[in-house]
Structure 1
Amino acid sequence: MRFTSWNLLFLAAFALIAEKGECACGSLGNLPGNFGRVEVDSFCPFADWTFTVAPGDIPFIYLADGILFTGNECKAYDGIDNNGTLLGVFTGSGYEVGAIRSSSNSLYVVCNMSVANERLFWSYQLVLVDDCGGSFPASPDYNIVSPQDPSSMQSIYPHGTFCVWEFNGDPAGCNFTFQLDTNTVLHNYDFIFINYGPENVGGQGIAIRYGNPDGFYFAPDNLTAAYTGSQLRVMFVSDGSGSSVGFTMDVTAECPPPDPLQCGEIVEIVLNEDSLHKLNATAGDILYIAPSEDVKPEDVDPSCVTTILDPYFIFNVTQCVPVAEESDGVIKLTYTVWNQKYLDQSVPVQRYFIFCVNFTCEFESNYTVTSSELEPEIRKIGFDTDPVDAQFQVSLELYNNDTFEDPLADDATITVPQYVYAEVRMTDVPASSNNFHVEMTSCWATLTDQPTASPLYPILQASCPVVNPFDPANAIIMLRNSQPIYGQFKFRSFVWTNVTDQEIYVHCDVTICDTDAGECPSECGMKRRRRSVAAVGEKHVLSAGPILIANKPVDQVIQQVKKERNEMEYDFIQSGGPIQESQDEEMYAALVLVLVAGACVVILLLIKK
């Protein structure tokens, strides 16, 4: 909605009426117009009202003057009564809340005063301008400027402004400082609220309001205040009674430095002041990650190279090569940052040190998958085949070995990457009925019992094992398919990435085909028998699970360990899907992340000829 000159004239006229509003108590009903004021009389034990605007518009309200005494409070709800969502509770001066806007075209406010209270003045207003503010990281310096009314010939802010700037810092807390410009001028009943915001807990400082309900507000010289907390919120609101030039505010934040190392599928290394000092890093130096000083910056991935102007690395573990070792069930990956000094080519000799700093991530290597409370789902599927009409019971069950004799019990335990064996079987068809073929056309695993849920791990597609790019060799093996009575396959157990409650459900699309009725597909990779009969069977979905994973979830990439020529080499699997899994049965990563920093110095003397 935009103001026209007629709008402004109407708002100015209404402002004069609102200024002379009568004090009220009890149920006030729906407030008139698109803006105005409510005055709740002193000694009023109860007052409530609703502010409703046109559909599609949004109202907001704030306590413009007065203080709620201890034990008294006013609550604002989204909607026409207290059955809506509670948006905020006003106590004291209301500065902690500031202004509250609805998400609908109605806003309901109710005040309960258990003790005698002074008169309260409330401003209510239709939101006309809210394309301002936003959410920002707690950067060192930020400048906030009130919006300008494009329809005005003067540099003034518009009516009905609702702007919120949120600065989000470190959870450990940041030191925020803000300074209001001396040229700040606000019309009466227009305010700046500064507080921590609804999500901040344990902040230090007093909520502040800048403005004046009785006249224009002029900011004094050097008006500065400070907060400590993880979030700072600056809110600016204006009603429809008048306008002015607005304000400018400078916000600064001092936050604790981030952790120098974060391990996971994505590794983050921050070269803080201490690390840069150990590296003796200066302008022009090249900082890079390599397993030894013999490897040069031009030989590594670009994500593993930086300078002091941008002193951090963010890379997938496949990109920067670590020095790796494994012992006592723990895999250690040490990323070494080297400093290639800038060399002045105009001088005949060079003397310098080679500095390095080590950052080490540690991963547990063993995890267990358990089948506790495993109840494979058996579905009775009735369908017709030609020429014999019959109903079949088809089951999908899971086992822990290739004998397929005893299904996984509630107390069964599977250690990653042990194989899980799956069998689809027609349970009520005689073994001599070789004309009924079971074809598992596609199988997959999910985190829940819903076949279409995410994440999804593909096992079979087009009746063949899926070759997932993140899987080791032979992760999925077809044992029997498109054969009479039953089909079988196996897959290596795994853990889902970034999941707390680990469960695995297996689902299969299954087709039962009668060879007496027509052509049936052959096993994966083999040609089909060519017959002219069209009817080949119907497809059904079977599910089994859950398999419960006993250990904590992992959110790291899991490494392959290979031993060749008495040396350890580590390949890492890029996250191409929902699973991260080792290519070696003994090596699986975990959540344990440990930072080990060290410095090594090698003295070199280079003489330029």
Structure 2
Amino acid sequence: MSSRLLKAALFVSALSMLLRVSDTLCAVENVSGAEYYTTIAPNCNTWARRFVSTGDSSRLIAHFRLGQLAANNFCKIYEGSDDQGKLAGTLEGGGLSFPVIVESSSAYISCVTNLTTETVGFDLQPFTLCGEDVEDIPYNLLSPMFPSNYPNYAGCVWRFQMNSSRTLLFQFSTFNTQSAYDFLYFKNEQGNVDKFVGSRGSFDYTVTATNLTVMFVSDYSGSRTGFNATVEVNFNPKKWTSARTLICRLKNAFCVEIQPSVECRTENLIIRVTVDEQTTLDYELGDTLYIALDREIPLSRLNDSCKVTGSNPVFTFDIDQCECVFKNENGTVSVSFLIWRFLAPSPAVIQRDVQNKLNVTCLLDAELLLSSSKIHTKIGSEEISAKKTGTFDVALNLFSNHYFTESLPGKVTVPNYIFAEVKLDEISASNGDFIVQLETCWATRSGNSNSLPSYQVVQSGCVAPLSGSESANAKTLIRNYESNFATFKLMSFVWTNFTDAEQFIYIHCDVTVCHNSTGQCPGQSCSGKKRRSVEDHGRNQRLSAGPVHIIQGTS
């Protein structure tokens, strides 16, 4: 046999052996166990597995723990034992893929890999479902059992649903998951996927979406403390490139940079839309102009002071009456408003008008702003001054347990308790010089602390009288007038004459921080005797927290 024929025979033999190995690696294989992890062979054109769970879970999660498929590759995940079952989802190639939930204890995995040269780690595991549908923002995103370690085999899904596209800001104060094994995924409606893993400390993440799905997946061991993030709509005045921005600086009750069209104050703030701004908004005399962060908000939900007509385009309102965004930087607080136009009724069938907007920003001195009773925040964190002590942070936070360690989720079922704590953040608990005093606390259905209906919790430093047939433990003042924090608990309830979708609770408190170095802070007396005035010993500040969506309990 010639050397050329010998080489050809050896090549055919080697190729045949390679194909037999590839067929063995890539052919359908039956596997079982509590969890299945494998690497998809790089020399497979197609790859398939039939998995049956031996655990107790009736759900599975499929995702790529390592690497990603090449473009035009994919893995289809079916419920049951073959590709005739219900398609649970597809792990796409060409980028990060989002996990697929299989509502079954068995799954069939069919992949087209087109002889990709990248090894991909495929994981199929049981999980315990957690998370919720999120309808209200701001929101606190927490890993399960935070600040304790999250459980193994977690599968948490949070679905953020907005009326229109929003840019959400996730501000992670901490992020610590097991590297290479436990992942936090994000996916918007366009299918764009991001993934975070490992120890990252604190960081910010923004994503634009109308519908956003967040999923946390942990494996069978090695859990960590997880993550804690506040979620809010990201508002950056600089992004409104088509809007004209007017700025007025306020210090010591007057404008430093005076503009005739804007008079910045906390009460009776005035914005005059001038002829120049009429070009920006492109409105006519019959149009309605309104102040709101969301162009699509129903006008009926706005305070009348936040709506004017094009024939008299002058807004006069208190700073808490119209929607705005606060930002505090180095003692200066920017308060930003967006002015939109609402078109007058027209017989036209269609229109092609561009919706322009005007951004008005007031730059306010923080001390002046915080001394005003017109300032409230949805997440209760403010600066407050106690006489002769300077400035520090005081916060109102809501919890779901009496240890005040588990942050309250976005929803509470009646009659579960809401636990509230007002605390000085930067002062040691052993420092007896600062006393937090809850003067008045109450609940409202909206974020406006002056709105009706309202429900009194604390009055004159004591538990408010019970109403109607309330039980004696409906509200309890746990700690007040004793140290640098105060606490109370409130049994959740629903508002009468409102639908389920309108059931929200906001908590508001008027708080005094008293400097007690000379023992001059008045003590608490709830025995019916008149309590001494605290006006000379501290400054009163209003804090707010919420919303909490209230769910009617069922029997």
Establish whether TM, by shorter chain, passes 0.5.
no
TM-score between both structures, scaled by the size of structure 2: 0.39
Higher relative contact order, chain-length normalized (CA < 8 Å, sep 6+)? 1
TM-score between both structures, scaled by the size of structure 1: 0.36
- The answer to which structure has the higher helix fraction is 2
Q: Which protein shows a greater Rg? A: 1
